[in-house]
Each structure stands twice: as C-alpha cells, then as structure tokens.
Amino acid sequence: MSENRIKEEIKALLKEKNGVLLAHNYMRDEIQEIADMAGDSLALSVAAAEADAEVIVFCGVHFMAESAAILAPGKRVILPRPDAGCPMADMVTAEALESFKSRYPGRPVVTYVNSSAEVKACSDICCTSANGVKVVRSLPEREIIFVPDRNLGRFVAKQAPEKKLILWDGYCPTHERMSAETVLRLKNEHPDAVFVCHPESLPEVADMADHICSTSGMYEYCRKSSAKKFIIGTEAGILYRLRQENRDKEFILASHALVCPNMKLTSLEDVLCSLQTLSPVITVPEKIRENAKRALDRMLAVPRDQT
C-alpha cells in the first residue's frame, strides 16, 4: 500500500471510530503531517482530555500515553508502538524514589512529566521543561527533590538560585549526545545563526545557547525572531514544523546524533494497524491514576505568569 493510501485509510478510520490522532513534536514527518494535533507531551495529554473523541491515538512514547490515560480516563488511549519507551523515564522507579525520599524527609518532590505514572504518583507536583522554574518557585520549601532529569534540574536551579535542588541522576541520552565541540564548530561555521537548545542539554552546551526553551517554546521563539538562521539543539523531529511555519528561515540541526530511536519507532503502518484493531490500549490502575493526576493538577494550577 502506498504512503498516500495509508494516510487516506488512517483518516477514514479516525472518522469512523470517532478518533483523534495526536503526534509528539519528535515524531516522523509523515505522521506529524496527518496528525490532528502536534505538540509536546503535556499539551497533547490535555488535548486528549478535552477532545470530543472516544479514541485517542497517541504517537509518542509510553509515559506520554500514560499521561493521556491519567487525564482522560473515560477514553480509549492507544499507543501504536507499546515498545516505544523513554530511557530517562526508566532511570527512576517508584520504589527507588520512595527510598530516596526517606533520605530527605520533608522535602517536596518535583517530577518532570517525562516519567512513569507510578513515579508521578509518588510525587508532590509535576513540571514540564517550559514551567519547571515556575513550579519550583511556587513551593514554599527551599530544599526540593527534582526528578529525574539532572540537566533540566541544573537549568531550573540556575534560574531559581533561592532554591536548593536535590537532583536525581537521570538524563536524556539523545540530548546528551549533543557535544559542546560539535555545537562550537557549527557556531563558527554559521556566525550569523542563533543557537537555541532544550534544557535537557548538557550544561556546557546550554551555556553556549542564545536561548534555552522547551520544544513549544522553540516554535514561538523562532517564529517571532528577526533572525534568519537557527542552530536547533533538540531532537530532529522538531525541524518539520519549524520549516513549515518559517519558510523564509534556515534551520540547522545542532548534531546528527539528535535522533531519538524510540520516537522514530512509530510508522504510518503502525498507526493504521492500531486503528484497525483499536489496540494496544494503555491503562493506568485507578489508585495510581488518582495520585498521579493530583501531581499533574497541582502543576496545572500554578499561575502561568508566576515568576
């Protein structure tokens, strides 16, 4: 079956089954092209909860589909590739976090949404790469446990020096493959380019950036910027929409290593099969779902304009 035919079949099945196709910013270009919405993991989960649809086809990795299931319990959440995991999310378990918490009694736990439902359920509040600083500053305690991304934690700590963050030793392997040497070479080759990177990047890479922000923040920043050339320091999938929205601008990937193998697992054929079978379905046990939702709700309640 041709690619165009597969896309037509997917669209027809979505209509027939009252479904919506959500794609993370790092998905393959052809999946982003036909998605009803592309965005970051939390925005997609919120969209899943608010969508007037019975079936949510979530093209992303496992923890993202779990977040959708947490926020949209009455809907069927399908992850076309259940083997699409997240190495960083796997670096912390609920059991290990509980043991870690016992060493620092009284310290609240801020957990990055790139984590399992079980870990979220053991946390006080969640955060994203976009609102991590605001979430940390919303807490009255000075000392805070930050899980699981050490690089995002370092970025937040730098922006909120009045807080002391106790960092879990987790990281994103894809972002850590972007070296300062590679970025420096590109900056020298393109002195007129603006370097934008994700806060999951290594500190020495972040120190070289003209701007540090989430994937959603990159779309806005590059759209509004008067610059015409950008070096992009995050997963390659983001280039599709950046180029679609800014046809008069040039985007250069900061490193050829910025390709997440888990994000690239999902194919159009996988999406089609999942709609034909309405599987695999991602569910979260109710007790875990309730506690994880509490941590997400607390994050969503943090005022956006809080500094």
- For 69-122, the pLDDT digits (tens) are 999 999 999 999 999 999 999 999 999 999 999 999 999 999 999 999 999 999
Whether 6 has a pLDDT exceeding 90, the answer reads yes
Supply the Cα-derived Rg of the chain in whole angstroms: 19
Give the type of residue at 236: A
Overall average pLDDT of the 44-53 stretch: 92
Structure tokens at 222: 């590059």
Domain 3-85+263-283, classified CATH 3.40.50.10800, yes or no = yes
Could you give the C-alpha distances from 171 to 174, 183, 236, in angstroms and in order? Answer: 9, 19, 18
Alpha helix (H) residue ranges in 160-264: 173-176, 180-189, 203-206, 215-224, 238-245
Residue 48 DSSP SS3 = helix
Which pLDDT score, from 0 to 100, does residue 306 have? 36
Which pLDDT score, from 0 to 100, does residue 1 have? 85
Contact residues for 104 (Cβ-Cβ < 8 A; gap 6+): 143, 145, 166
Domain with CATH 3.40.50.10800 in the chain: 3-85+263-283, 89-172+289-300, 178-253
Which pLDDT score, from 0 to 100, does residue 249 have? 98
Encode pLDDT of 258-287 as tens digits. 999 999 999 999 999 999 999 999 999 999
Q: What is the CATH number of domain 89-172+289-300?
A: 3.40.50.10800
The topology under which CATH files domain 178-253 is Rossmann fold (3.40.50)
Predicted TM-score (pTM) of this structure: 0.95
Closest CA to 59 of 293, 262, 288, 242: 262
Task: Identify the helix (H) or strand (E) that includes residue 165.
Answer: strand 164-167
Which pLDDT score, from 0 to 100, does residue 305 have? 52
CB 59 within 8 A of CB 237: no
